[in-house]
Chains A and B, each alone.
Chain A
Amino acid sequence: MAQFTAEAFQNQYLSDGATDVHAIVRIDATGAAASPVASGQGAAEVIIVDTSGSMGERGIREGSLAAAAAIQEIADGTAFAVVAGNHLAWQVYPSAPVPGTAVMSERTRLEALNAVRGFRADGGTAMGQWLLAARQVFLTVPDHFRKHAILLTDGANEHETPDQLTWAIQSCMGAFQADCRGVGDRWQVEEVRRIASALLGTVDLIPRPEEMAESFRALMRASMARGIASAELRVWAPQGAQVLFVKQVSPNLEDLSTRRREVNALTGGYPTGAWSDESRDYHVAVRLPAKSIGQEQLAARVQLALGDEVAAQALVKAMWSNDDALTARINPQVAQYTGQAELAAAIQDGLAAKAAGRDDEATSKLGRAVQLAAQAGNAEMTTRLKKVVEIDNAETGTVRLKKQVEKLDEMALDTASTKTQRVRK
């Protein structure tokens, strides 16, 4: 049986009149890998591969190999299907006139491997269609199953409107999770991030087609380890309080605030998807009515719930004090994740401004990103930023946009922006 623990990191001391309480809640899961879901019982996987014309002969060949690599990782007993997409989408395996899954076995694995060899590059790109096809497949498996998809694309969503994609994404929210990967430099990071974010998955760049297979293998292996099909983060805040935001801040940034569902009048539930043996950090911010010096109260009760059962709980407290030595401290976890969120926003806004030709804004935002990365000692992000800007002074954030930038470097910076560095205890 999986075990969860929750721990809050915060400075509970508020100065006179202060109202905002920030805490990082770390949730650790153990024993998830031993669950039956991890061995395929009660899990469903759909592999979605871009077969648009832009993939070309080489792309399609590598796409087939990637799908095959993922299929190899799927445990026996898992319900699975393979969907091919261009401006339309169709179920490649199991080949049947209606959506559905096959149960993984020696026989079905061979059949599926054969089926993915038949991919042909043709047509346009309409990812909304692919998602809706996957949703049809997942609708045929029982509700309590862990439902996960891998989506591969190589291009922009050119054959449907943004509204159509939005509608498709919204239809799929809560129906399944999706990890999304873009290959090459012709896809739109922001577009694919929108899908992954809504479907509680990750987005990443695969620079070269031949790297797809390894990426798919790793994604499927990670998914197979998720023995907890679904868990919900619950945040209780007292009457009269306002939950300012709830964000996942590690392993990657994901603002969950808008995903709230009402559990009861004082408690909101936020989806966290499936869990393996892993550790995640959440940043919870609550605004309270100020109380007098010396008063103490509970600011938030943060729980992880499996269905209706609470598996772990951490308490976030507030204590008003006129001792500046206590109230002036910023908790290191809160500080670092706040800085990383600001860094991610600066990078994304800077790149968006650069793409729109607003060079002054881009220079200012990316300069701020360089400054933040330097302050945090985030060498990886500094290295990535150096490929996009010339750094004159990291301390002051003085930069110049590079004349010649590899598109892939820009995309790598963009996709990496939401990956956070773990804060030591």
Chain B
Amino acid sequence: MLATPQPPAAPPPTGTATPILPSVATPPNGPAQAARPAGAPALGEESPLDIGWTGVVPGTASEYDATPTPVRCGTCGDGTYQDGYCNQCGAKEPNPRDHLEESASTWVGGVSDIGRRHARNEDALALSSRPDPASTAVLVVCDGVSNTTDSDVASLAACRAARTVLEQPLSAGMGVADAARAAAYRRLGEAVAAANTAVIATTTKDDPASPSCTFTGAIVAGRTAYVGNVGDSRIYWLPDGTEGARQLSVDDSVAAERIASGIERKVAETGPMAHSITRWLGIDAPDDLTPHTHSVDLAGPGWLMLCSDGLWNYCSDAKELQQLIGDILAKGTPAEPIALARALVGFANNAGGADNITVAFARIPEPNTTAAPEVATDLAGSGTTEGETDGTVHR
């Protein structure tokens, strides 16, 4: 399945997409991409600099040479876009980067949206997954730091570079949970390094506002998730019902430091400098980019959620998020990753949409509906107990 960027309103009819604005063409992911040899982000096919702009996909380059077909305006339906605006109603042509939707499988999907207040969507996501629920999946969310140059390009490059690293099969090791966890944490560290390289590759020399972004990644291996983060994008495990909701990530932020010093969460997260992060990816990143890592037993049923602060600004506490999702589903939203992600983006936008909003889910079903056992052996994950936050990742 291809991840398809969707314009926010009515998508243009198939086959009429034009390169008037650089389209965010998404490279293949999922099983096809998993076959890629290990190493740097698919060199020769796609440079990190190209990501988000040229979207070179082998064999389809000719589509970009074609004369642009007029795209019908999604706002008034009468006009066509000219110079980026409708020639009848004047509406701005949607930039596909403003609203990305990615569906890696029926159980892994996510949405990244510009929000209501920002001029660019500097958030990004990259997903990949095997088709069977709770088998193998990779989820990455990066939040480009605003007021830096081209953070929208950098964050997408980071996501995709990290995904490429994370979706390489983990060695089964000795079949011991500790060894599997160590391998997964090492892989998360490598993903951060690859993402950092990708961000730096988008940096122009001597740029005083060089691009930078956060990193949040998750490997789902059967009933275990290994997660890591740098910055303040988050990962939550949100089981169905009212029990067991937890935030798995640790914010590198001024707010987190305040909470650690005893200030109440809501006060700290809305206070001055609350959004200042203390670690980030980029050419000016701090030396230590070791991700905060964690592993969790995905008993299911439940949702593994990755999100940017554009969502958690409006609902931060794990229990409240669990409640929110329960309410949304109770009102009839289908229990599918894309549908739920769209609903949460809608929730954040209705609450003000002050920042870009990105939400990605892996839907973990009840254990008895788990797919074939051989998939799970991929990562020797069975029987892994919940780990603790582990700051000592081995490289």
Residues of chain A whose beta carbon lies under 8 Å from any beta carbon of chain B? 236-241, 266, 288, 293-299, 301, 313, 315
Contacts and interface: CB of A to CB of B under 8 A. Distances in A.
B116 A297 contact: no
A298 B88 contact: no
A298 B353 CA distance: 23
Contacts of A237: 90
Given A239-B76, A293-B116, A294-B117, A315 B91 contact: no
A200 to B, nearest CB: 29
Interface of B: 76, 78, 83, 85-92, 116-117, 353
A321 to B, nearest CB: 8
A299 B90 CA distance: 7
B117 A297 contact: no
Nearest to A265: B88
Contact of B85 (A239, A240, A266, A297): A297
Contacts of B85: 297-298, 315
A237 B76 CA distance: 15
Nearest to B75: A297
A37 B367 CA distance: 86
A298 B92 contact: yes
B92 A238 contact: no
B267 to A, nearest CB: 25
Contacts of A313: 83
B88 A239 contact: yes
15 contacts: A237-B90, A238-B86, A238-B88, A238-B89, A293-B116, A294-B353, A295-B92, A296-B92, A297-B85, A297-B89, A298-B90, A298-B91, A298-B92, A301-B83, A313-B83
Nearest to A294: B116
Contact of A241 (B76, B86, B90, B91): B90
A310 to B, nearest CB: 12
Contacts of B90: 237-239, 241, 288, 297-299
4 closest cross-chain pairs (CB), A and B:
A238-B90, A298-B85, A298-B90, A297-B90
B115 to A, nearest CB: 8
Contacts of B78: 239
B116 A298 contact: no
B94 to A, nearest CB: 10
Contacts of A293: 116-117
B116 A266 contact: no
Contacts of B88: 238-239, 266
Given A296-B92, A313-B83, 10 more contacts: A236-B87, A237-B90, A239-B76, A239-B90, A294-B353, A297-B85, A298-B83, A298-B85, A298-B91, A315-B85
A299 B89 CA distance: 9
Contacts of A315: 83, 85
A292 B76 CA distance: 16
Nearest to B353: A294
Given A238-B86, A315-B83, A315-B85, A297 B92 contact: yes
Contacts of B116: 293-294
A25 to B, nearest CB: 15
What does DSSP make chain A's interface, helix, strand, loop or mixed?
loop
A297 B88 CA distance: 11
B85 to A, nearest CB: 4
A125 to B, nearest CB: 50
B273 to A, nearest CB: 20
Contact of A239 (B89, B92, B353): B89
A149 to B, nearest CB: 39
B86 A298 contact: yes
Contacts of A240: 89
B167 to A, nearest CB: 36
Contacts of A299: 90
B164 to A, nearest CB: 34
Contacts of A266: 88
A187 B290 CA distance: 86
A297 B76 contact: no
A298 B86 CA distance: 8
A394 B194 CA distance: 67
Nearest to A266: B88
Q: A238, A240, A301, A313 — which one has the most chain B CB atoms within 10 A of its CB? A: A238
A295 B90 CA distance: 11
Nearest to B83: A315
B86 to A, nearest CB: 7
A240 B78 CA distance: 13
A127 to B, nearest CB: 44
A297 B91 contact: yes
A301 B79 CA distance: 15
A178 B89 CA distance: 39
A201 to B, nearest CB: 34
B103 to A, nearest CB: 26
A360 B271 CA distance: 59
A401 B166 CA distance: 85
Nearest to B76: A239
Contacts of A301: 83
A241 B87 CA distance: 13
Nearest to A237: B90
A390 B88 CA distance: 54
B100 to A, nearest CB: 18
A31 B89 CA distance: 36
Nearest to A300: B90
Contacts of B89: 238-240, 297
A313 B82 CA distance: 12
B238 to A, nearest CB: 29
A299 B86 CA distance: 11
A237 B83 CA distance: 14
B296 to A, nearest CB: 37
B116 to A, nearest CB: 5
Nearest to A318: B90
Contacts of B117: 293-294
Nearest to A313: B83
A238 B81 CA distance: 12
A268 to B, nearest CB: 15
A16 to B, nearest CB: 12
Nearest to B85: A298
A238 B116 CA distance: 23
Nearest to A286: B90
A83 B74 CA distance: 60
A299 B91 CA distance: 9
A295 B9 CA distance: 13
B123 to A, nearest CB: 16
A37 to B, nearest CB: 31
B37 to A, nearest CB: 44
Contacts of B92: 295-298
Contacts of A298: 83, 85-86, 90-92
Nearest to A288: B90
Nearest to B90: A238
A68 to B, nearest CB: 51
B87 to A, nearest CB: 8
B83 to A, nearest CB: 6
A294 B353 CA distance: 10
A190 B92 CA distance: 45
A301 B85 CA distance: 10
Contacts of A297: 85, 89-92
B248 to A, nearest CB: 32
